[in-house]
């Protein structure tokens, strides 16, 4: 990954190292500034012999850019809502109140345009800034230059501050205190570190005599921060009075030392030379300032890149945590799946045992069924064989009956032929007799006629008896033949029905065997 990033990690590490070194330098400069302020205040107290006069009345003017928190600062100082904070201040607003046992008058002024605002500050705003100091019966004790801690104060902003404060005259700087608002935004940084982080802020605070203060506008119940601010105003006023006394003594000394005019002129020339040198130094400082601004911009860009990298690292860290959580969840799921597989294996083993038991039972039942089927098949084969034997025997008997019937038929035909012969013979034999009888009858009359009729009657009776006997024998033969045919038909029907029943039994047995085998295979696949 490092190779893929082309060594970007080492560049980022060097950038972090530079940022840490810069932070250490800022902390060191902040400590030095704090020590300088403390020493300055101690020196002032020593000059005043430890007695700091407490003013009974304070006159304060709030100055600053738009949205710097001037109105909110006025409300914090007066400990009540006197100034509107949700809209732009378009003209000077004067409010009074009792603070820490003294009368405090605060004038809120319109804010000038900052670098993010389009266009220059309107002339009306400049006139209101100039008018603010005229709202007091005397000159104000303090000009509070309000700057938002979270605002990135650049050289452009510093020049804008100087431009607008110069509207009040050069002496306005001796009455100015830089007041940082929204101090809770500093979090774990000191105000000195914040000042030392920006070159423009350093120059501005230095020009104000290293006088500054921090207010937490959200914590208005903390009265100590306002008390300390008023104390710093008292110190600034006392210091300005001491400066006025020193200036008076200097003027008296100048009047007494008019003879030193030439030396003063020489000093002036030296001062002019010094001024030129200072101008050169200023130009050098301007070049240095531009380089510092470029460096600040580079540092700002580097800081932004570092913050972006930190955010990317944070995103990567969160993704890694999410992946770890997913891995943990997958691990738990795998363990659950393993437990389920183990239970499934146990169930499969039990199913296998049940299946083996069922297969053993099935094999036993199949063996019993096969044995029963074979016995039934053997019985059927035996019965079928007996039926076939009986059928063959019946066929033989039928053939014998047929032959006997044929013989009977031949006998009947022979008898018929004999009967016809006998009838012919009878007719032939009886014709002469009949003729004789007729002649006798004719000759003898009725007696002969009666005897002839008696003989023909007896012959006819015998012939009828013989016909009846032959008819009875023929009917008996036909009835016997019909009975034999019916018995053969019954035996053949029984044979065919038994054969069909045996086939159906065999087919049903094999069908049950096939269904059981299919169900066993299906359970095994499941």
Q: Which of 45-54, 147-156, 162-171, 418-427 has the lowest mean pLDDT?
A: 45-54
What confidence score (pLDDT) does residue 451 get? 46
- Identify which of 414, 437, 417 has the alpha carbon closest to the alpha carbon of residue 425: 417
Q: What is the mean pLDDT of residues 87-110?
A: 92
- Identify which of 484, 489, 490 has the alpha carbon closest to the alpha carbon of residue 405: 484
Q: What is the mean pLDDT of residues 23-27?
A: 83
Last residue of a domain, one of 256, 277, 293: 256
| pLDDT tens profile 182-202 | 888 888 888 898 998 889 999
Kindly give, in sequence order, each residue whose CB lies less than 8 Å from that of residue 459, ignoring residues fewer than 6 positions away: 426
**228-256: buried (b, 16+ CB within 10 Å) or exposed (e) per residue?**
ebbebbbbbbbbeeeeeeeeeeeeeeeee
**214-217 — which CB contacts under 8 Å span 24+ positions?**
214/149, 214/179, 214/180, 214/183, 214/186, 215/73, 215/76, 215/179, 215/180, 215/181, 215/183, 216/182, 216/183, 216/184, 217/69, 217/72, 217/73, 217/76, 217/181, 217/182, 217/183
What confidence score (pLDDT) does residue 60 get? 95
| pLDDT tens profile 206-255 | 999 999 999 988 887 778 899 999 989 988 888 877 654 444 444 454 55
| pLDDT tens profile 302-358 | 888 888 888 898 898 889 889 898 888 898 988 988 888 888 888 889 888 888 888
The domain total for the chain is 2
Positive/negative CA dihedral, 374, 376, 379, 384: negative
Whether the pLDDT of residue 256 is over 70: the answer is no
H helix count then E strand count, the chain: 9, 6
Pairing of strands 102-108, 93-99: antiparallel
Q: What is the mean pLDDT of residues 46-50?
A: 60
Whether the pLDDT of residue 159 is over 60: the answer is yes
Percent of the chain with pLDDT strictly greater than 90: 19
Last residue of a domain, one of 204, 227, 256: 256
Name the token pair of 483: 């009975």
**Does some domain include residue 321?**
no
**Does some domain include residue 377?**
no
What confidence score (pLDDT) does residue 449 get? 45
Evaluate whether 223 touches 188 at the Cβ level (below 8 Å): no
**Does some domain include residue 302?**
no
CA dist., res. 74 & res. 58, Å (int):
13
- N-to-C CA span, the chain: 50
Phi, psi for residue 146 in degrees, rounded to 5: -85, 125
CA dist., res. 80 & res. 92, Å (int):
18
Q: Which of 13-22, 339-348, 359-368, 385-394 has the lowest mean pLDDT?
A: 13-22
Whether the pLDDT of residue 411 is over 90: the answer is no
What confidence score (pLDDT) does residue 440 get? 57
Angle in degrees, 0-180, between the axes of helices 199-207 and 261-444, rounded to the nearest 10 = 140
Domain residue limits at 392: 382-525
Residue 56 and residue 200 in one domain? yes
CA dist., res. 183 & res. 222, Å (int):
13
Better pLDDT: 433 or 94: 94
Whether the pLDDT of residue 11 is over 90: the answer is no
What confidence score (pLDDT) does residue 259 get? 60
Whether the pLDDT of residue 510 is over 80: the answer is no
Last residue of a domain, one of 221, 256, 291: 256
Q: Mean of the per-residue pLDDT values for the chain?
A: 79
Which residues is 145 bridged to in the sheet? 63, 178
**Does some domain include residue 308?**
no
What confidence score (pLDDT) does residue 22 get? 79
**Does some domain include residue 391?**
yes
- Residue 491, classified by CB atoms within 10 Å of its CB into exposed (0-12), middle (13-18) or buried (19+), is middle
Q: What is the mean pLDDT of residues 124-140?
A: 91
Quick one: which H or E segment has residue 258?
none
- Identify which of 240, 238, 323 has the alpha carbon closest to the alpha carbon of residue 52: 238
What is the four-CA torsion angle of 202, 207, 212, 217, rounded to 10 degrees?
-80
- Chain position carrying tokens 């005897």: 451
**Does some domain include residue 245?**
yes
Q: What is the mean pLDDT of residues 477-496?
A: 70
**Does some domain include residue 5?**
no
CA dist., res. 336 & res. 179, Å (int):
65
CATH number at residue 144: 3.40.50.300
| Per-residue H/E/C for 3-72 | CCCCCHHHHHHHHHHHHHHHHHHHHHHHHHHHHHHHHHHHHHHHHCCCCCCCCCEEEEEEEEECCCCHHH
**Does some domain include residue 3?**
no
What confidence score (pLDDT) does residue 207 get? 93
């Amino acid at each position: 990954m490092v190779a893929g990033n082309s060594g970007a990690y080492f560049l980022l590490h060097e950038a972090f190292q530079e940022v840490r070194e810069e932070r250490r330098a800022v902390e060191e400069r902040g400590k030095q500034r704090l020590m300088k302020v403390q020493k300055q205040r101690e020196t002032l107290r020593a000059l005043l012999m430890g007695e700091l006069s407490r003013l009974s009345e304070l006159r304060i003017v709030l100055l600053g850019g738009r949205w710097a928190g001037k109105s909110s600062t006025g409300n914090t100082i007066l400990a009540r809502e006197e100034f509107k904070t949700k809209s732009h201040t378009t003209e000077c607003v004067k409010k009074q109140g009792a603070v820490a046992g003294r009368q405090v008058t605060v004038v809120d002024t319109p804010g000038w345009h900052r670098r993010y605002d389009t266009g220059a500050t309107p002339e009306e705003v400049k006139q209101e800034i100039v008018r603010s100091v005229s709202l007091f019966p005397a000159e104000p004790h303090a000009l509070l230059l309000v700057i938002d801690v979270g605002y990135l104060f650049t050289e452009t902003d510093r020049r804008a501050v100087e431009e607008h404060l110069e509207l009040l005259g050069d002496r306005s700087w001796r009455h100015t205190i830089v007041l940082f608002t929204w101090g809770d935004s500093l979090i774990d940084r000191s105000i000195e570190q914040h000042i030392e982080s920006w070159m423009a802020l350093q120059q501005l605070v230095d020009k104000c005599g290293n006088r500054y203060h921090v207010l937490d506008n959200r914590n208005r119940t903390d009265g100590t921060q306002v008390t300390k601010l008023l104390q710093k105003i008292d110190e600034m006023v006392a210091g300005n009075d001491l400066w006025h006394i020193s200036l008076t003594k200097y003027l008296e000394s100048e009047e007494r030392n008019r003879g030193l005019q030439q030396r003063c002129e020489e000093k002036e020339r030296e001062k002019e030379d010094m001024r030129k040198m200072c101008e050169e130094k200023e130009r050098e400082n301007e070049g240095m300032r531009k380089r510092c601004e470029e460096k600040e911009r580079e540092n700002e860009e580097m800081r932004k890149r570092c913050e972006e990298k930190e955010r990317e690292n944070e995103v990567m860290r969160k993704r890694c945590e999410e992946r770890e959580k997913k891995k943990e969840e997958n691990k738990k799921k795998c363990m659950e799946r393993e437990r389920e597989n183990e239970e499934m294996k146990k169930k499969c083993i039990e199913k296998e045992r049940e299946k083996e038991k069922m297969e053993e039972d099935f094999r036993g039942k199949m063996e019993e069924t096969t044995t029963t089927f074979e016995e039934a098949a053997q019985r059927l084969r035996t019965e079928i064989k007996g039926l076939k034997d009986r059928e063959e025997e019946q066929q033989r008997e039928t053939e014998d009956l047929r032959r006997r019937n044929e013989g009977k038929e031949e006998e009947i035909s022979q008898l018929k032929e004999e009967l016809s012969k006998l009838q012919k013979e009878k007719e032939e034999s009886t014709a002469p007799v009949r003729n004789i009888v007729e002649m006798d009858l004719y000759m003898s009359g009725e007696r002969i006629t009666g005897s002839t009729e008696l003989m023909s009657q007896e012959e006819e009776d015998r012939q009828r008896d013989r016909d009846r006997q032959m008819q009875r024998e023929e009917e008996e033969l036909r009835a016997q033949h019909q009975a034999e045919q019916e018995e053969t038909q019954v035996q053949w029907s029984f044979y065919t029905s038994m054969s069909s029943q045996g086939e159906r039994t065999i087919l049903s047995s094999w069908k049950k065997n096939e269904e059981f085998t299919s169900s066993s295979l299906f359970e095994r696949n499941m």
